[in-house]
Copies of this chain bind each other. A is one copy, B any other.
Amino acid sequence: MDADKTAMQPAVQPFGAWMRAVQTTMEQALSSFLPAAADAPQELHQAMRYAVLDGGKRVRPLLAFAAGELFAAGPQQLQRAAAAVEMIHAYSLVHDDMPCMDDDALRRGKPTVHIKFGQASALLAGDALQAQAFLVLTDGAGDAACKLAMVRLLAQASGSLGMCGGQAIDLASVGLNLSRQQLEQMHRLKTGALLRAAVLLGALSGKLLTVAEEQALDRFAAAVGLAFQVVDDILDATADSATLGKTAGKDAADNKPTYVSILGLEPSMVLAEQLRQDAHAALLPFGHNAQRLRELADLIVRRKA
């Protein structure tokens, strides 16, 4: 590399500006990767778009983009990887909110999909979003082996040994006294698996990973995934519905075990901070390139909603 160029690195964008840029990019990308609202069947496509667009903090796409910076991933591949993970996340929320599951009427400050479109459309929109996620991964430029690895990772993270499995354990645990270990296993599957997929798919958008790279990212994702849930539990116990954009205090009302109910509020906050530091430690091998991932770990632990 030219020595002058090394010396002339561009000024690093502040985190907030970077985050807003990714969110804006992803809103457009998600919109373009979803069927148009005017295309038949229109109500299904409108429900799919309603479920995905104009909502959420886009934590998973942010993780994918941050991980993509480790290996200079191209923007097209990153957008597809991030969109696929976000579509899986969105479909899981649609199904999770349905009356036979959590029966929630409010999500991101708006009526949930089954309230707005009816249960049958919500069921189908979720199903179609899962298929769309895998479809998005197969399109565009990029190496077939790399794309196939992404499909495989996303399918594992979404299925019965990942997100769906975690939701099944969650359902079965209502009213039970879970140990801290059982609670952790549930969350590792329910939310952790997909957060890990976001990190690994982002990294895979740059290149196939070495074992050491994958292990370091796994450690980071495990710490951030768990921290995410601990903070969710803290916020559910302390924030109000308007701030959260969803019904607060629902876990206690539903008699669901949480970190706050098992450990108490103060120890849960200590744990979240410890996990933030674990996440930073896991990133040491990546040096400067991991700045965005470090900043995201900070955001996930210190968020207020």
A131 near B128: Cβ-Cβ < 8 Å? no
Determine if B44 and A128 form an interchain contact, defined as CB atoms under 8 angstroms apart: no
C-alpha spacing A40/B71, complex, angstroms: 36
A161 nearest CB neighbor, chain B only: B35
- A43 to B168, Cβ gap below 8 A? yes
**Residue pair A35, B132 in contact (C-beta under 8 Å):** no
> Are B120 and A135 interface neighbours, CB within 8 A?
no
Q: Are A98 and B123 in contact (CB under 8 A)?
A: yes
In the complex the two chains form, is A155's CB within 8 Å of B138's CB?
yes
Contact of A124 among B43, B154, B168 (CB under 8 A): B168
Q: Are A159 and B135 in contact (CB under 8 A)?
A: yes
Assuming the A-B contacts A123-B123, A148-B147, are A128 and B159 also in contact, with contact meaning beta carbons closer than 8 angstroms in the complex? yes
> Using Cβ atoms and an 8 Å threshold, which residues of chain B touch A126?
127
Give the distance in Å from the alpha carbon of A202 to the alpha carbon of B277 in the complex. Answer: 50
How far does the alpha carbon of A304 sit from the alpha carbon of B237 in the complex, in Å? 59
Instruction: Determine whether A164 belongs to the interface, using a CB cutoff of 8 Å to chain B.
Output: yes
- Of the candidates B45, B144, B152, B160, the one whose C-beta lies within 8 Å of that of A45 is B160
Q: Are B158 and A131 in contact (CB under 8 A)?
A: yes
Answer yes or no: A130 CB below 8 A from chain B CBs: yes
- Residue on B nearest A48 in the bound complex, by CB: B160
Shortest beta-carbon distance, A96 to chain B, in Å?
9
- Contacting pair A101 B121 (CB below 8 A): no
Q: Is A119 an interface residue (CB 8 A)?
A: yes
- A131, B155: Cβ atoms closer than 8 Å: yes
Given A44-B165, A135-B156, A151-B151, list of 14 further CB < 8 A pairs?
A35-B161, A44-B160, A48-B160, A101-B123, A123-B123, A124-B171, A127-B158, A128-B159, A131-B155, A132-B159, A135-B155, A137-B151, A144-B144, A148-B151
